[in-house]
Amino acid sequence: MLKANNALLSARDITLDVDGRLILDHVNMDVRRGEIVTVIGPNGAGKSTLVRVMLGLRPFTSGRIERVPNLSVGYVPQSFPQSANVPMNVKRLLSLTMKPKNRDIDKALAETGIAHLKDARVASLSGGELQRALLARALLRKPDLLVLDEPVQAVDFFGEMKLYELISNIRKSHGCGILMVSHDLHMVMAESDRVVCLNGHVCCEGGPEKVQQDPEFAKLFGPSAARMIAAYAHHHDHDHEPHDHHHLEHKH
């Protein structure tokens, strides 16, 4: 079972107990190259915590994290405080912990669609622009695995759609694995290869179609959520090329 699944990053039986409260309960998860895995769940379900455990950013009680050797990770954190910040422009933000070439910075910014913001002050960016800057930052690391914690927070509906499109394109052009956390059920379903429904423990997981028909899913989000997603996925197929076999199976 160990490396047979050729996952980039795996959680094995991860349990996190904080003051007697079980935050993560024997969680297993794999992210493979080229696939988008989305973790969904209600607030307080431990989604961000799981991601932070998997990235080695916080300790856990028991279990094991497995990662392929020399795994390069691009991380876009959930929140990025904008007040009382260090004054800097976007270019500097991209160069904080590495020294990328100017050419690479331009390329990354162009890829995320904000080439014109290279010299803009970080404090002046909108929510969507900031997410794109952070995404460009992550891409500069030539990641095998991209980890996005709530990438569409503070982004309006239109921007959200665009951002998911961008993420989907990045997966195609870079071939990296993508681990994404979201509490937004609609968009996520269309783009993900696998959805992991988390509420402390893994309630259900699998392809988007399978997950939304799972009784556990309905229990967690209510039956109307499942119907809404089905409607969205259907609509989505008409707008874009289908690139998710789960949708193909479902097309009428």
Partner 1 sequence: MNSILSEPFFQRGLLAGLAVALVSGPVGCFIVWRRMAYFGESLAHSGLLGVGLGLLLNFNITLGATITASVLAVLLLALRRQRGLATDTLLGVLSHTALALGLIVVGLATGAASDHMDILFGDVLTVSRQDVIAVWVGAALVLASLGLMWRDLIATSVHEELARAEGVKVERVELGFILLIAVMTAIAMKIVGLLLITALMVIPAAAARRMATTPERMAVLAAGIAGLSVIGGLVASAFLGGASGPCVVLAASSFFALTLLVPQVS
* Cβ atoms within 10 Å, residue 12: 16
Whose Cβ is closer to partner 1: residue 141's or residue 250's? 141
Any contact of residue 70 with partner 1 (CB under 8 A)? no
Whose Cβ is closer to partner 1: residue 121's or residue 234's? 121
SS3 157: helix
Contact 116, 90 (CB under 8 A): no
Binding mask 127-156 for partner 1 (x = CB under 8 A): --------------x---------------
Q: How many residues bind partner 1 (CB under 8 A)?
A: 23
Distance CA 224, CA 247 (A): 20
Residue given tokens 């050419």 in the structure block: 103
Q: Could you tell me the two tokens for 86?
A: 């260090």
Any contact of residue 87 with partner 1 (CB under 8 A)? yes
Q: Which stretch binds partner 1 (CB under 8 A): 69-77, 125-133, 181-189, 211-219?
A: 69-77
Whose Cβ is closer to partner 1: residue 135's or residue 187's? 135
Selected binder of partner 1 within 5, 71, 96, 243 (CB under 8 A): 96
Residues in CB range of 53: below 8 A, 6 or more apart? 11, 14, 16, 24, 59, 60, 65
Q: Could you tell me the two tokens for 12?
A: 């094995």
- DSSP states along 89-109: BHHHHHTSSS---HHHHHHHH
Distance CA 28, CA 14 (A): 7
Q: Which stretch binds partner 1 (CB under 8 A): 4-12, 80-88, 100-108, 205-213?
A: 80-88
Q: Which stretch binds partner 1 (CB under 8 A): 78-86, 101-109, 181-189, 230-238?
A: 78-86
**Interacting residues with partner 1 (CB under 8 A):** 19, 52, 55, 57, 73, 75, 77, 80-81, 84-89, 92-93, 96-98, 121, 124, 141
